[in-house]
């Protein structure tokens, strides 16, 4: 076994982009800030010095137009990797993404390919508020023709990004800002982590938990605390929102009979709604309890700290859901709750959790 | 009409007689805004203002010159960098600081943060943090004025980067087509975050982007509050007369980092020389010198002014800090009207 190589997810992204630029001459980066000193939270830092401004293209503040331009170049065989520092800014691009990118291959009966990767960052924290911290993944995942990837581990940040770049379809690659700081073992060199389905993070028979992106860490913390109290559950990191492959999750529910979905977006009409619906369609006879969805309430992200505290669910809510579904004893649930709260070290909810540094 | 810095004013605008203007009032307003923002910068590290802040320090002359030409019923719309626009238009200081601290007394009750400042009483309709998003909204305010036969004007503050967005062109086209009473006040501070204008736009005058949509334009020194005021007065007169929109390019400079309380000249995206040149063109210091020469200001008056602003700022920070945090759900969610 080689020594583990611990780097952050942000470093993993940079490594993937560096590899893509060096090993594939058809790739180029495009975005506001890709060539600036900040380098998209460090993920593109210095790449312009190495590859020049034609491969690392600082773009005008013109998201929709440049998306179309990226698509046009992709039709001609280029592999653009576009970046938005906030997923909220990508709302300006949805016309091109939904109408052109998502449909070109289908409409031309397979003649067109759009090998476009679009990175979008969820900017949670520090009072960013209603238009700078949204979790809009369900909206992108609602459109056939797009693929939507949402990594949670540093190894997946790199491997799934390279898989997205290799993919001949438009891939929306959604990075939760707080995961950039998380570290883990990341292989060197070019490798891909296929965009094929969820990854099992923890095993147990009592319930099935499905989480995505940042919520995988919240869920893992809850699951670890519960395991110490003898309550073992299955935990899946969803990884890929479209194409949505739930077969492993349905198999798990057939065994546990209990399902909890916790995701980064709005609960109503969100990821959880689709996952519960497919589970009911495919395994309703196995369900022993009504599934529970954990997601954001039906209003915009408030800026104020006290309002944000009520807005974001976390590991405490996941423990409560498991307690309810598995009839957990209050003593055990309380101990698990105390443990996860202590791990946060009293850090306010508008800052990244110190317990999530990793390595994971 | 051209001054030796190369700024020029469109012929049609130059013909309009500038109002007689109270220079001391302009000075007071700029100094007050500077005092407030310096205090925000000084206190930001206390982490009571838990949201991003985009300071306007260095750019006060634009907001002040514009607002002095408007009435409370005239509307302005702004961007992420909205503090000076809000304050110059008469926005409530305690409501602003409270919003930065996420308090119930904030203009948005703590829901929006620093990039969503508005004050309906003052005619500050809204600020939006998505680049160029407030441009069409400002045009819409002007459309309402026209439809209702009101004599008012809407001013849209936009950054140089917002000219790159398609929605600017859609909005300008419509405003010119319908001769709406609106002013596109473009603050060119040369940067979008860390990216210089020349790396984002071809070398052509920004005013061409107004002319292309059939608007008269002015290119002014945005650090000369009197020039800003003159150009705005002319554009307001055009708008009120039913002659339609005007595009004004005001060249200015942001002193501090794009977002946050610090200086970032060591970051490498701009030179210390460039920064120093612009700081030496400080809009406040320039008017100060002129007022002294004109005998309209003396040290005693100035000291009284400063003491007044210091007291006001201390009081407003105190009130904001003492105000309660919102209790989730206490006022209902309020998602729908
Ligand atoms: C649609 C959109 N794209 C990108 C951003 C990120 N962003 C915030 S401010 C800014 C720079 C805007 O520059 P400018 O309009 O010149 O205003 P300034 O900051 O110089 O006042 C950018 C790119 C955004 N808020 N909205
Ligand atoms: Mg600018």
**CATH assignment at residue A15:** 3.40.50.970
Confidence of residue B331 (pLDDT cuts 50, 70, 90): confident
**Do residue A282 and residue A138 come from a single domain?**
no
Q: How do strand B154-159 and strand B75-78 relate by DSSP bridges?
A: parallel
CB A150, CB A137: distance < 8 Å: yes
- What 3-state class would DSSP assign to B266? helix
**Do residue A172 and residue A213 come from a single domain?**
no
Q: What is the ipTM of this complex?
A: 0.96
Judge if the beta carbon of residue A111 lies within 6 A of ligand 1.
no
pLDDT reported for residue A1:
63
CB B223, CB B253: distance < 8 Å: yes
- What 3-state class would DSSP assign to B270? coil
Residue B4, Cβ density class (10 Å: 0-12 exposed, 13-18 middle, ≥19 buried): exposed
pLDDT in tens, B115-149: 999 999 999 999 999 999 999 999 999 999 999 99
**Residue A1 is assigned to a structural domain of this protein:** no
**Do residue A166 and residue A115 come from a single domain?**
yes
Report yes or no: B201 at the A interface, CB cutoff 8 Å: yes
**Residue A192 is assigned to a structural domain of this protein:** no
**Do residue A151 and residue A211 come from a single domain?**
no
A127 sits in the region (left: phi over 0; alpha: psi -120 to 50; else beta) called left
**Residue A179 is assigned to a structural domain of this protein:** yes
Other beta carbons within 10 angstroms of residue A197's beta carbon come to 16
Report yes or no: A299 at the B interface, CB cutoff 8 Å: yes
Contact across the interface for B111 and A306, Cβ inside 8 Å:
no
**Residue A146 is assigned to a structural domain of this protein:** yes
Span B3-320: which CATH code? 3.40.50.970
Structure tokens of B333?
């969610």
Compute the average pLDDT of residues B46-55.
98
Crossing angle, helix B299-322 and helix B93-100, to 10 degrees? 50
> Rounded distance, CA B287 to CA B309, Å?
18
Q: Give how many domains chain A has, as a whole number.
A: 2
Confidence of residue B332 (pLDDT cuts 50, 70, 90): confident
Taking CA–CA distances from A305, the nearest residue in chain B reads B102
Report yes or no: A62 at the B interface, CB cutoff 8 Å: yes
Sign of CA dihedral A290, A294, A300, A303: positive
> Rounded distance, CA A108 to CA A114, Å?
12
pLDDT at B5 over 90: no
Higher confidence at residue B13 or residue B157?
A: B157
Distances (CA, A) of A172 to A98, A240, A243, A321, B309: 11, 10, 12, 30, 50
Low-confidence ranges of chain A (pLDDT < 70): 1
Other beta carbons within 10 angstroms of residue A81's beta carbon come to 27
**Do residue A142 and residue A290 come from a single domain?**
no
pLDDT reported for residue B14:
39
pLDDT reported for residue B10:
41
pLDDT reported for residue B4:
34
Enumerate the H helices of B5-150 as residue ranges: 11-14, 23-43, 60-67, 83-88, 93-100, 134-147
For residue A220, the Cα-to-chain-centroid distance in whole angstroms is 15
Q: What order of strands is seen across the sheet that includes strand A292-296?
A: A199-202, A234-237, A208-211, A259-266, A292-296
pLDDT in tens, B78-110: 999 999 999 999 999 999 999 999 999 999 999
Judge if the beta carbon of residue A59 lies within 6 A of ligand 1.
no
pLDDT reported for residue B329:
87
Question: What are phi and psi for residue B23, nearest 5 degrees?
Answer: -65, -35
**Do residue A224 and residue A274 come from a single domain?**
yes
**Do residue A19 and residue A168 come from a single domain?**
yes
pLDDT reported for residue B330:
82
Sign of CA dihedral A147, A153, A157, A162: negative
Contact across the interface for A60 and B130, Cβ inside 8 Å:
no
Residue A149, Cβ density class (10 Å: 0-12 exposed, 13-18 middle, ≥19 buried): buried
pLDDT in tens, B185-229: 999 999 999 999 999 999 999 999 999 999 999 999 999 999 999
Judge if the beta carbon of residue B161 lies within 6 A of ligand 1.
yes
**Residue A326 is assigned to a structural domain of this protein:** yes
B-interface mutation test, from A83, A129, A350, most B Cβ less than 10 A away: A129
pLDDT in tens, B265-298: 999 999 999 999 999 999 999 999 999 999 999 9
DSSP string, A315-360: HHHHHHHHHHHHT--HHHHHHHHHHHHHHTTT--TTS--GGGG---
B127-165 CB burial, b ≥16 within 10 A, e <16: bbbbbbbbbbbbbbbbbebbeeeeebbbbbbbbbbbbbb
pLDDT reported for residue A4:
86
pLDDT in tens, A213-254: 999 999 999 999 999 999 999 999 999 999 999 999 999 999
CB-side neighbour CA atoms (13 Å) of A350: 21
- Nearest residue to A170 (alpha-carbon basis) of A108, A122, A100, A84: A100
Judge if the beta carbon of residue A11 lies within 6 A of ligand 1.
no
- Which residues fall within 8 angstroms of residue B291, CB to CB, at 6 or more apart? B23, B24, B27, B297
Taking CA–CA distances from A62, the nearest residue in chain B reads B165
**Do residue A154 and residue A231 come from a single domain?**
no
Residue ranges covered by each domain of chain B: 3-320
**Structural domain boundaries, residue A296:** 199-343
pLDDT reported for residue B15:
38
Structure tokens of A114?
């759009």
Q: What is the pTM of this model?
A: 0.96
CB A183, CB A359: distance < 8 Å: yes
> Rounded distance, CA B185 to CA B197, Å?
17
B68-80 CB burial, b ≥16 within 10 A, e <16: bbbeeebbbbbbb
> A151, A185, A219 — which closes off a domain?
A185
pLDDT at B7 over 70: no
**Do residue A107 and residue A142 come from a single domain?**
yes
**Do residue A108 and residue A207 come from a single domain?**
no
**Residue A228 is assigned to a structural domain of this protein:** yes
pLDDT reported for residue A54:
98
Contact across the interface for A304 and B164, Cβ inside 8 Å:
no
> Rounded distance, CA A314 to CA A326, Å?
18
Q: How many angstroms is it from A314 CA to the middle of ligand 2?
A: 38
Total count of residues recorded for chain A: 360
- Which residues fall within 8 angstroms of residue A91, CB to CB, at 6 or more apart? A136, B130
Contact across the interface for A38 and B128, Cβ inside 8 Å:
no
**Residue A190 is assigned to a structural domain of this protein:** no
CB B227, CB B221: distance < 8 Å: yes
pLDDT reported for residue B19:
46
């Amino acid at each position: 076994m080689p020594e583990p190589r611990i780097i952050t997810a942000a470093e993993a992204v940079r490594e993937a982009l560096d590899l893509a630029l060096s090993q594939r001459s058809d790739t180029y980066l495009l975005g506001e800030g890709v060539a600036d000193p900040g380098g998209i939270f460090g993920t593109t830092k210095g790449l312009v010095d190495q590859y020049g401004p034609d491969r690392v293209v600082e773009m005008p503040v013109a998201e929709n137009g440049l998306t179309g331009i990226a698509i046009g170049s992709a039709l001609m065989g280029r592999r653009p990797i576009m970046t938005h520092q906030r997923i909220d800014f990508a709302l300006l691009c949805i016309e091109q993404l939904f109408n052109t990118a998502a449909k070109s291959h289908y409409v031309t009966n397979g003649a067109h390919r759009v090998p476009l990767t679009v990175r979008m960052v969820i900017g949670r924290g520090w009072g960013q508020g209603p238009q700078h911290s949204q979790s809009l993944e369900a909206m992108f995942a609602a459109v056939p023709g797009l693929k939507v990837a949402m990594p949670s581990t540093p190894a997946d940040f790199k491997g799934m990004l390279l898989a997205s770049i290799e993919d001949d379809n438009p891939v929306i690659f959604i990075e939760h800002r707080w995961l950039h700081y998380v570290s883990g073992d990341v292989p060197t060199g070019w490798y891909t982590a296929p965009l094929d389905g969820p990854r099992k993070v923890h095993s147990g028979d009592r319930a099935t938990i499905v989480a995505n992106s940042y919520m995988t860490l919240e869920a893992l913390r809850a699951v670890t605390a519960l395991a110490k109290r003898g309550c073992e559950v299955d935990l899946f990191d969803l990884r890929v929102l479209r194409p949505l492959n739930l077969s492993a999750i349905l198999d798990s529910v057939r065994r546990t009979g209990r399902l909890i979905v916790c995701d980064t977006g709005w609960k109503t009409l969100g990821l959880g709604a689709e996952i519960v619906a497919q589970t009911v369609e495919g395994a309703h006879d196995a369900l022993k309890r009504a599934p529970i969805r954990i997601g954001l309430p039906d209003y915009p992200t408030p800026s104020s700290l006290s309002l944000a505290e009520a807005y974001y669910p976390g590991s405490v809510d996941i423990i409560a859901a498991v307690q309810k579904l598995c009839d957990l004893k209050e003593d055990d649930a309380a101990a698990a709750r105390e443990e996860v709260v202590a791990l946060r070290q009293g850090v306010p909810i508008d800052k990244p959790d110190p317990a999530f540094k990793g390595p994971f | 009409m051209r001054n030796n810095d190369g700024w020029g004013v469109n012929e049609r605008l130059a013909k309009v007689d500038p109002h007689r203007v109270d220079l001391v009032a302009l000075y007071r307003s700029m100094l007050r805004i500077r005092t407030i923002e310096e205090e925000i910068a000084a206190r930001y590290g206390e982490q009571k203002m838990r949201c991003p802040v985009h300071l306007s320090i260095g750019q006060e002359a634009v907001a002040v010159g514009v607002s002095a030409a408007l009435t409370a019923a005239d509307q302005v719309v702004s961007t992420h960098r909205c503090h000076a626009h809000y304050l110059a238009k008469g926005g409530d200081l305690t409501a602003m600081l409270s919003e930065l601290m996420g308090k119930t007394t904030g203009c948005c009750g703590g829901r929006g943060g620093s990039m969503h400042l508005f004050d309906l009483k003052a005619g500050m309709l809204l600020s939006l943090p998505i680049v160029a998003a407030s441009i069409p909204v400002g045009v819409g305010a002007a459309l309402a004025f026209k439809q209702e036969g009101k004599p008012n004007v809407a001013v849209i503050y936009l950054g140089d980067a917002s000219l790159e967005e398609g929605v600017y062109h859609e909005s300008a086209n419509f405003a010119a087509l319908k001769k709406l009473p609106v002013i596109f006040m473009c603050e060119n501070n040369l940067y979008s975050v860390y990216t210089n204008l020349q790396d984002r736009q071809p070398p052509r005058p920004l005013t061409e982007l107004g002319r292309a949509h059939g608007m008269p334009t002015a290119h002014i020194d945005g650090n000369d509050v009197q020039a800003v005021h003159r150009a705005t007065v002319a554009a307001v007169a055009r708008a009120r007369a039913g002659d339609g929109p005007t595009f004004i390019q005001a060249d200015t400079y942001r002193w501090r980092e794009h977002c946050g309380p610090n200086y970032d000249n060591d970051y490498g995206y701009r030179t210390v020389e460039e920064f120093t040149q612009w700081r030496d063109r400080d809009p406040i210091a320039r008017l100060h010198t002129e007022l002294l020469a004109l005998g309209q200001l003396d040290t005693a008056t100035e000291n009284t002014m400063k003491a007044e602003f210091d007291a006001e700022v201390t009081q407003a920070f105190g009130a904001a800090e003492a105000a309660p945090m919102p209790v989730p759900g206490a006022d209902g969610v309020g998602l729908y009207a």
